[in-house]
Structure 1
Amino acid sequence: MTLHTTHLGDDGPRVVFLHGLFGQGRNWTQIGKALAESYRVTLVDLPHHGRSPWGEEFSYLHLADSVAELLDAEDPVALVGHSMGGKTAMAVALRRPELVERLCVVDISPVTYRTGSEFAGYIAAMLGMDLGALGGRDDADAALLEAVPNRTVRSFLLQNLRRDGDGWRWQANLDVLGRDLEVLGRWPQEVDALEPYPGPVLWIAGERSDYVLEEYAPAMERLFPRVRKVTVKGAGHWVHSERPEVFLEVLQRFLAHR
């Protein structure tokens, strides 16, 4: 499975970005462009998302293997992943440490979460929309309003809506993601049993998020002993979009430290 990628910058070390659930590589465009003068940046659409292929099921091992195919042990990368992409990035680093020179995990932990009805509700609302009746994006926004009253979240979800000839389609594989939400919330046991990742790790948390809690620190430190945690004040789960200036400064310091 060849993943869709976007490349920014021609010189410097390589930095690869992985998005979260319902996202796509372009979610990292602002951060990627800011780094492109000093780094070779790759923005990845993960399986089931964006312009990358779909599969029959969701698996973090499959996601990690797909990302690993983009990497080269002779040119190891700084791998940055948010949420679902953060779990994928951790799995890549643990399974193929020779490919990852350093790791940045954004607002996620190597633990199993109870997958909330929130995400299931989003998927049900998106699948329940009559795409054939949409005249434009304003119609789509109105159709999601009741189920997703938060305008920011609604706009984020609607980034997955694409023109398909005279109609519309969802880029995300909503059927599989909805069916496998429980798997998406898990931390894979196959990865948990591996040797710790030896490289430097930056663990960025949002102050208002509950995805990175003190009780999760032992699991993180066991698998990633060189971890350093930074909490971004005023940010929730989408740290890099809510506080981009702070996020960029923290990431740049981590990338520059040798």
Structure 2
Amino acid sequence: MMDADLRVRAGGDGEPLLLLLHGLGATGDVWSGWWPELANRWPGRWIAPDLPGHGGSPAPPEYTFDALAEAVRPLVTGGGPTVVVGHSLGGVVALALAARLPVAAVIGLGIKVAWSDEDLERAGAMAQRPVAWFDSADEAAARHLRVSGLAGLLTPDDPAVRAGIHEIGGRWRLALDPCAFGVGAPDMAPLVAGTSAAVTLARGEHDPMNTDDQLRQWGVPVVTLAGLGHNAHVESPRHCLELLADHAW
């Protein structure tokens, strides 16, 4: 379904609202492993949008964390308590959103908080690449899995993978707008300080994108998920759902 110009998946009823924001290259469908668990463990509604420039959502005029937060802002309605869980890019967007709305809690999972000049140069180069086209859906799906970091976790025919590719005129491409790679590095200090929400930063024990010490420097609770990697929310939805234990009023 489409809501506020974004493609979203949604379920549940009532309050509180749980907003699930995916990482760079993925789509809202990447949370599909959570949905059966949420039916039993979350008392209210949940919404999982495709961020702008991903999946079925149109590309924005510019890629900044503030612009992405503004795009998802209309999804948070009703005035009741809202918890936002964001993975990687989505975690930064969650913090930027919490500076604009009275969000009860933000859980940022797998955020890359330390960026080198080489990291930024590599991301900038990827943002300048033209769209790659493929002759088959399977080829495009394999590329999507690599770009989103989901290779080995999902199969090419998984609905979450198919949501990340588009067929146009008999050829296939990633749904991801390459320009999204140019969003840059988050300025974590003002992002964390700019909200009254209860902020938790979480990471998989084997996540190469960050370390416990890097996350602890921001003065908020840090949770390390044993045995999991960067895409912990895909590897073990049940384990990650424990992060919500204190927020399901």
Q: Distance in 1 between matches of 2:37 and 2:212?
A: 30
TM-score normalized with structure 2 length? 0.78
Higher relative contact order structure (alpha carbons within 8 Å, sequence separation ≥ 6): 2
Q: Distance in 1 between matches of 2:94 and 2:177?
A: 20
Residue 251 (1) aligns with residue 243 (2)? yes
Q: Distance in 2 between matches of 1:199 and 1:141?
A: 37
Counterpart in 1 of 2:5?
A: 2
1:89-122 CA deviation, whole Å, 9 max, x = no partner? 01111x2241x1111111115x452337876798
Change beyond 3 A, Cα 1:162–1:73 = same
Structure with greater Cα Rg: 1
Is the 1:19–1:83 Cα contact (8 Å) retained in structure 2?
A: yes
Is the 1:122–1:148 Cα contact (8 Å) retained in structure 2?
A: no
Q: 2:39 aligns with which of 36, 45, 54?
A: 36
Counterpart in 1 of 2:137?
A: 137
Counterpart in 2 of 1:25?
A: 28
Q: Report the CA distance between 1:70 and its aligned residue.
A: 1.7
Change beyond 3 A, Cα 1:125–1:43 = same
Residue 84 (1) aligns with residue 89 (2)? yes
Q: CA RMSD in A?
A: 3.6
Q: Distance in 2 between matches of 1:10 and 1:67?
A: 19
Q: Which runs of 5+ in 1 are unaligned?
A: 222-226
1:122-181 CA deviation, whole Å, 9 max, x = no partner? 8899944x43xx1x334446789999999427958775222235332331112x124x1x
SS at match of 2:6: coil
Structural mapping, 1:108-127, within 5 Å: 108=111, 111-114=113-116, 115=119, 127=131
Change beyond 3 A, Cα 1:53–1:244 = same
Greater CA drift, 151-160 or 235-244: 151-160
1:26-60 CA deviation, whole Å, 9 max, x = no partner? 11122133213422110111111111110232111
TM-score normalized with structure 1 length? 0.76
Q: Distance in 2 between matches of 1:143 and 1:82?
A: 20
Residue 72 (1) aligns with residue 77 (2)? yes
Q: 1:171 aligns with which of 159, 172, 175?
A: 175
Identity of aligned residues (%): 26
SS at match of 1:7: strand
Counterpart in 2 of 1:152?
A: 152
SS at match of 2:75: coil
Please tell me the residue identity of whatever aligns with 2:226: K
Change beyond 3 A, Cα 1:54–1:231 = same
Change beyond 3 A, Cα 1:33–1:121 = farther
Between Structure 1 and Structure 2, the one with more helix by share is: 1
Q: Distance in 1 between matches of 2:147 and 2:199?
A: 37
Q: Which runs of 5+ in 2 are unaligned?
A: none
Residue 207 (1) aligns with residue 211 (2)? no
1:188-241 CA deviation, whole Å, 9 max, x = no partner? 48x8278542232232211111424313422x22xxxxx332111111111111
Please tell me the residue identity of whatever aligns with 1:254: D
Change beyond 3 A, Cα 1:149–1:56 = closer
Counterpart in 2 of 1:224?
A: none
Change beyond 3 A, Cα 1:145–1:123 = farther
Q: Distance in 2 between matches of 1:146 and 1:206?
A: 19
Q: Distance in 2 between matches of 1:74 and 1:167?
A: 44
Change beyond 3 A, Cα 1:73–1:82 = same
Change beyond 3 A, Cα 1:254–1:85 = same
Q: Distance in 2 between matches of 1:70 and 1:148?
A: 24
Q: 1:47 aligns with which of 42, 45, 52?
A: 52
Equivalences, count: 237
